[in-house]
A and B are shown apart, each in its own frame.
Chain A
């Protein structure tokens, strides 16, 4: 599971001074559930997820992932996490299989286990047709499947997806959303960020709405509908975010 405790990230900008990209955020994600972080561009979603994946270190606060503190045991956290985003590219000169094997080895799998895991994943994701093809020669869909295989190779209990369908066509995006559901169904803790309302409606058990680095609202879709007296998630989102969005623009 994931437990964020007052997670904050501040950056220094020469022109704008201190920027609070994430400001004292706390939330919980449970195993077998999908937590959706919904926010506009620049709201702080990516920074939050990067801190959970220990790619960035929090300025304040911390998070516990699978019982490990992201500040004290970042390597142990990463060993329990699969991180996928549109920014996590593949090594162009490695083949699809080499790419997955590389990450399996980095995750400490021995050769026998690795071979079994890779064969299983390649069969399951129907990737055998391009396992020996270099990543720079793969189609977008094949690349996404390879990325999924890369995050799954060590069978992590926690999956973090940062706008995983951004820029993808409908068919490729569906592969990703199906995969996210599969992760939940297999009991993994899943957190993903997006600004696509329909994705959140279809996938998430809990929704967190983030703007200006602050978690403004949190709950199930039903809870949010009740609280803000709106059916449509987009209307709920606009209602929550607009006052803060205006402040941000004025600033």
Chain B
């Protein structure tokens, strides 16, 4: 009878949720569209913008260089660079994006180089401005090539080999398998996304099933039925949990598909997004199941906590104002886990959200520290059980249900 009642409430809440446009948008539509729009949409725009910036022929002002014709000639011959004559307000012109960079050849540069006297060539640009950076990079590359050429000529003149300056090479080689490499790079994002989306997926139904029910006046109707308040809470709670896990699952699916589409269009380059695509597509069933198993108590924790808080509110709007700050409470530890160098320790394993986020980072790289998994799973289960217990208790408090 009791499980039957929980099932009856769950089925009814599911029916209502599937007919509610707001729930469908927040639980299904947003997670399905978020990643395609963010990755494919913004990714394509970013690629297009960078490509356009690279194709532009930037104007670069030449300052000095009258007595260094060979250098100036070389600069003028550079592909896709327009050398413009010197003006007095060259700094303003860079800032106002009229020119992209300026290069200053010191007086007597060529002669000084021939006399083996060290000189400084200054390149001025607008730091952080994409087109200015490209222009400065091109000039810098030309000047470094010129320097290498001078060095090689000097060595040749003295009959010395190039190895005089480069007695040995230093080479770094990766030994980790590709999935671990991309896992280390993108693994933090998976945990963060799953945790954040569990939260956002649970938020709307949690408000609708508590404060929303109060606002619509149906709370008294349901309380007059013979169902116990515990079964009523559990029926509602399972719906909120379904929404939380459903949102997270749809998001991961959508993320994988979006990245694979993106990698297809970017031609499997070494581009970061393509690497991410490969990584997400390589996530085996074991990893996916592990991540979701760890996310389960977190989703329980969120669902029960959000329901408890929202129950205090008399209206949906009031519930929104209570729950919005909760997003920050979740985002901060989830982001903290993504910071480089933050790794699991026995103490951190007890901090809710942060612990699961850190563990997910390890799980996706295929690392299984069973002692940490046990601590984190059990501690999160304890927090989740406490939150659920509190939610049930709150549903039994008249001062909360009939707050005026």
Question: Shortest CB–CB separation between residue B393 and chain A, in angstroms?
Answer: 14
- Whether B221 lies near A106 (C-beta < 8 A) is no
Bitwise interface map of A from 69 to 113 toward B, beta carbon under 8 Å scored 1, else 0: 000000110110101010111111110001000110111100000
Q: Is A57 an interface residue (CB 8 A)?
A: yes
Q: Is B38 an interface residue (CB 8 A)?
A: no
Bitwise interface map of B from 204 to 227 toward A, beta carbon under 8 Å scored 1, else 0: 000000000000111011011111
Question: Shortest CB–CB separation between residue B15 and chain A, in angstroms?
Answer: 7
Q: Is B386 an interface residue (CB 8 A)?
A: no
- Whether A83 lies near B228 (C-beta < 8 A) is no
Question: Shortest CB–CB separation between residue B73 and chain A, in angstroms?
Answer: 77
Q: Is B120 an interface residue (CB 8 A)?
A: no
Question: Which residues of chain B have C-beta atoms less than 8 A from A106's C-beta?
Answer: 5, 8-9, 225-227
The interface size bin for chain B is 20 to 34
Bitwise interface map of B from 1 to 29 toward A, beta carbon under 8 Å scored 1, else 0: 10001001100100110011000000000
- Whether B16 lies near A94 (C-beta < 8 A) is yes
Task: Across the interface, name the chain B residue whose C-beta is closest to A92.
Answer: B216
Q: Is B398 an interface residue (CB 8 A)?
A: yes
Task: Across the interface, name the chain B residue whose C-beta is closest to A98.
Answer: B15
Question: Which residues of chain A have C-beta atoms less than 8 A from B20's C-beta?
Answer: 93
Q: Is A214 an interface residue (CB 8 A)?
A: no
- Whether A85 lies near B5 (C-beta < 8 A) is no
Task: Known A53-B224, A106-B227; judge A89-B218 contact (CB<8 A).
Answer: yes
- Whether A78 lies near B216 (C-beta < 8 A) is no
Task: Across the interface, name the chain A residue whose C-beta is closest to B235.
Answer: A106
Question: Which residues of chain B have C-beta atoms less than 8 A from A103's C-beta?
Answer: 225
Question: Which residues of chain A have C-beta atoms less than 8 A from B226's C-beta?
Answer: 75-76, 78-79, 106-108
Bound-state Cα–Cα, A9 to B72, Å? 96
Question: Which residues of chain A have C-beta atoms less than 8 A from B402's C-beta?
Answer: 56
- Whether A56 lies near B16 (C-beta < 8 A) is no
Bound-state Cα–Cα, A88 to B222, Å? 8
Bound-state Cα–Cα, A81 to B223, Å? 12
Question: Which residues of chain A have C-beta atoms less than 8 A from B16's C-beta?
Answer: 91, 93-94
- Whether A56 lies near B221 (C-beta < 8 A) is no
- Whether A55 lies near B8 (C-beta < 8 A) is no
- Whether A55 lies near B15 (C-beta < 8 A) is no
- Whether A108 lies near B1 (C-beta < 8 A) is yes
Bound-state Cα–Cα, A56 to B404, Å? 14
Question: Which residues of chain B have C-beta atoms less than 8 A from A98's C-beta?
Answer: 12, 15
- Whether B398 lies near A57 (C-beta < 8 A) is yes
- Whether B228 lies near A75 (C-beta < 8 A) is yes
- Whether B224 lies near A83 (C-beta < 8 A) is yes
Question: Shortest CB–CB separation between residue B278 and chain A, in angstroms?
Answer: 43
Q: Is A45 an interface residue (CB 8 A)?
A: no
Task: Known A87-B217, A106-B227; judge A93-B19 contact (CB<8 A).
Answer: yes
Task: Known A102-B8, A106-B227; judge A56-B217 contact (CB<8 A).
Answer: no
Question: Which residues of chain A have C-beta atoms less than 8 A from B228's C-beta?
Answer: 75
Task: Across the interface, name the chain A residue whose C-beta is closest to B225.
Answer: A106
Q: Is A150 an interface residue (CB 8 A)?
A: yes
- Whether B224 lies near A81 (C-beta < 8 A) is yes
Looking at B20, B220, B398, the one whose CB has the most chain A CB atoms below 10 A away is B220
- Whether B225 lies near A107 (C-beta < 8 A) is yes
Task: Across the interface, name the chain B residue whose C-beta is closest to A154.
Answer: B226
Question: Which residues of chain B have C-beta atoms less than 8 A from A102's C-beta?
Answer: 8, 12
- Of the candidates B1, B218, B223, B225, the one whose C-beta lies within 8 Å of that of A91 is B218
Bound-state Cα–Cα, A81 to B224, Å? 8
Question: Which residues of chain B have C-beta atoms less than 8 A from A90's C-beta?
Answer: 218, 221
Bound-state Cα–Cα, A168 to B216, Å? 18
Task: Known A106-B8, A108-B1; judge A89-B221 contact (CB<8 A).
Answer: yes
Task: Across the interface, name the chain A residue whose C-beta is closest to B20.
Answer: A93
Bitwise interface map of A from 155 to 177 toward B, beta carbon under 8 Å scored 1, else 0: 00000000000000000000000
Bound-state Cα–Cα, A90 to B224, Å? 13
Question: Which residues of chain A have C-beta atoms less than 8 A from B5's C-beta?
Answer: 106
Looking at A76, A105, A106, the one whose CB has the most chain B CB atoms below 10 A away is A106
Bound-state Cα–Cα, A57 to B396, Å? 10
Question: Which residues of chain A have C-beta atoms less than 8 A from B218's C-beta?
Answer: 88-91
Question: Shortest CB–CB separation between residue B251 and chain A, in angstroms?
Answer: 25
Bound-state Cα–Cα, A75 to B223, Å? 10
Bitwise interface map of A from 126 to 137 toward B, beta carbon under 8 Å scored 1, else 0: 000000001000
Question: Which residues of chain B have C-beta atoms less than 8 A from A150's C-beta?
Answer: 221
What are 20 of the A-B contact pairs (CB < 8 Å)?
A55-B220, A57-B398, A75-B226, A78-B226, A85-B220, A88-B218, A91-B16, A91-B216, A91-B218, A93-B16, A93-B20, A98-B12, A98-B15, A102-B8, A102-B12, A106-B5, A106-B8, A108-B1, A108-B226, A134-B19
- 9 tightest A-B CB contacts, nearest first: A89-B217, A83-B224, A79-B226, A88-B221, A78-B226, A93-B16, A106-B225, A93-B19, A105-B8
**Seed contacts A88-B224, A90-B221, A91-B221; 12 additional CB < 8 Å A-B pairs:** A55-B224, A75-B228, A88-B217, A88-B218, A88-B221, A90-B218, A91-B218, A93-B20, A102-B12, A107-B225, A134-B19, A150-B221
